[in-house]
């Protein structure tokens, strides 16, 4: 399956402003791209790339005062099958975990593991460890938290979500992965593209959050917001929580004038020239 992914963002800056972007796909997906997912910035400014401590591909710029347009458009080769269900994926004892995984058991900015440990064990401690326990957490969050864009709050952590049971996709994700960490399941935050392939359209396309659990020696994706195995999760960043995965960090004030994201299946017969720019970017 081919999936066209990209975005068109326009900012307005009152002053020259430093910025960091996590807008590239994860380096592990580079071999799946029909052409590189480079950023096009108008007006042109120098771009410096670096890899952060979680392995995410980052870009930094100095934006001039005025309007700045940032776009990208590429085609990803995807399996076209939903994320797998591995019912027998085991939960590793903490002492057997790779050292680099241990950080994903600890509290972080939006994931107050210490505040939710008692609740986690009360709710899920009687369940067998492993996939079943992680899925039970996902089920509980999906069934007990109300979704609504009006509940978005950039400073809200998992403990507050547990208390008021309202939020957006990042809140569902923070609560689910915090409960998993409290149960000694290493869990990390992920953000990226999630289109409507195989499901009804229910809202405008946006970037979406998910979480990944380390089970059976690898990372598996879970989605507490939708709680179904989806086709076409294409991640851009992973980290401890949303603070590590902010797709845009601005070191000064700005106004976001345009925010357009797409993740669309491309029928094989229409894949004539993979370098044809998406028509939404025709005016660059």
The pLDDT assigned to 267 comes to: 83
Do β-strands 40-42 and 255-266 pair in parallel, antiparallel, or remain unpaired?
A: unpaired
Residue 183 sits in the same domain as residue 250: no
Residue 118 sits in the same domain as residue 176: yes
Residue 69 sits in the same domain as residue 112: no
Using the predicted structure, report yes or no on whether residue 121 has a pLDDT greater than 70. Answer: yes
β-bridge mates for residue 209, sequence order: 191
Residue 57 sits in the same domain as residue 155: no
Residue 100 sits in the same domain as residue 150: yes
Residue 13 sits in the same domain as residue 109: no
Beta strands in the chain (DSSP E): 2-13, 17-21, 40-42, 48-51, 57-63, 66-77, 146-147, 166-167, 187-193, 207-215, 218-222, 234-239, 248-250, 255-266
Using DSSP's 3-state secondary structure scheme, residue 86 falls into coil
Alpha-carbon span 27 to 52, nearest angstrom: 12
The answer to the question of residue 283 being in a domain is no
The answer to the question of residue 280 being in a domain is no
Question: CA 190, 193, 198 angle in degrees (round to 5)?
Answer: 115
Supply the CATH number for residue 35's domain: 2.60.40.2250
pLDDT in tens, 6-25: 999 999 999 999 999 999 99
**How many separate domains does the chain show?**
2
Q: Note the residue count of the chain.
A: 284
Residue 69 sits in the same domain as residue 99: no
Among residues of the chain, what percentage have pLDDT more than 90? 83
Poorest-pLDDT segment among 62-76, 115-129, 167-181, 253-267? 253-267
Hey, how many other C-beta atoms are within 10 angstroms of the C-beta on 31? 7
Using the predicted structure, report yes or no on whether residue 109 has a pLDDT greater than 90. Answer: yes
Alpha-carbon span 40 to 61, nearest angstrom: 12
pLDDT mean over 61-90: 95
Could you tell me the CA-to-CA distances from 44 to 62, 64, 70, 75 in Å, in that order?
10, 10, 10, 23
The answer to the question of residue 156 being in a domain is yes
Residue 171 sits in the same domain as residue 258: no
When pLDDT is cut at 50, 70 and 90, the band that residue 283 belongs to is very low
Residue 45 sits in the same domain as residue 171: no
CA 43 to chain centre: 28
The answer to the question of residue 19 being in a domain is yes
The answer to the question of residue 100 being in a domain is yes
The answer to the question of residue 272 being in a domain is no
Quick check: 11 and 60 in contact, CB under 8 A? no
Residue 64 sits in the same domain as residue 113: no
Supply the CATH number for residue 150's domain: 3.10.620.30
Residue 100 sits in the same domain as residue 230: yes
Domain ranges, residue 223:
94-239
Among residues of the chain, what percentage have pLDDT more than 70? 92
The answer to the question of residue 151 being in a domain is yes
Residue 103 sits in the same domain as residue 227: yes
């Amino acid at each position: 399956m081919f999936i066209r992914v990209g975005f068109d963002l326009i900012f307005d800056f009152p002053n020259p402003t430093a910025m960091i972007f996590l807008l590239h796909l994860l380096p592990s997906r580079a071999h799946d791209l029909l052409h590189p997912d480079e950023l096009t910035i108008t007006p042109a400014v120098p771009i410096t790339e670096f890899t952060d401590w979680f392995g995410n591909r980052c870009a930094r710029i100095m934006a001039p005062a005025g309007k700045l347009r940032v776009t990208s458009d590429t085609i990803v080769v995807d399996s076209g099958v939903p994320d797998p269900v591995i019912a027998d994926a085991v939960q590793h004892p903490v002492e057997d975990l790779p050292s680099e995984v241990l950080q994903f058991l600890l509290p972080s900015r939006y994931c107050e593991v210490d505040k939710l440990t008692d609740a986690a064990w009360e709710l899920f401690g009687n369940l067998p460890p492993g996939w079943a326990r992680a899925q039970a957490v996902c089920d509980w969050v999906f069934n007990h938290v109300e979704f609504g864009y009006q509940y978005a709050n950039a400073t809200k952590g998992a403990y507050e979500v547990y208390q008021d049971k309202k939020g957006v996709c990042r809140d569902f994700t923070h609560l689910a992965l915090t409960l998993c960490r409290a149960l000694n399941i290493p869990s990390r935050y992920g953000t990226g593209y999630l289109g409507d392939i195989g499901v009804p359209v229910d809202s405008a396309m946006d970037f979406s959050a998910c979480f990944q659990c380390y089970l059976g020696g690898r990372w598996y994706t879970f989605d507490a917001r939708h709680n179904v195995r989806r086709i076409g999760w294409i991640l851009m960043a992973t980290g401890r929580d949303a603070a590590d995965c902010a797709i845009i960090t601005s070191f000064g004030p700005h106004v976001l004038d345009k925010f357009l994201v797409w993740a669309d299946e491309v029928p094989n017969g229409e894949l004539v020239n993979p370098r044809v720019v998406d028509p939404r970017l025709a005016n660059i």
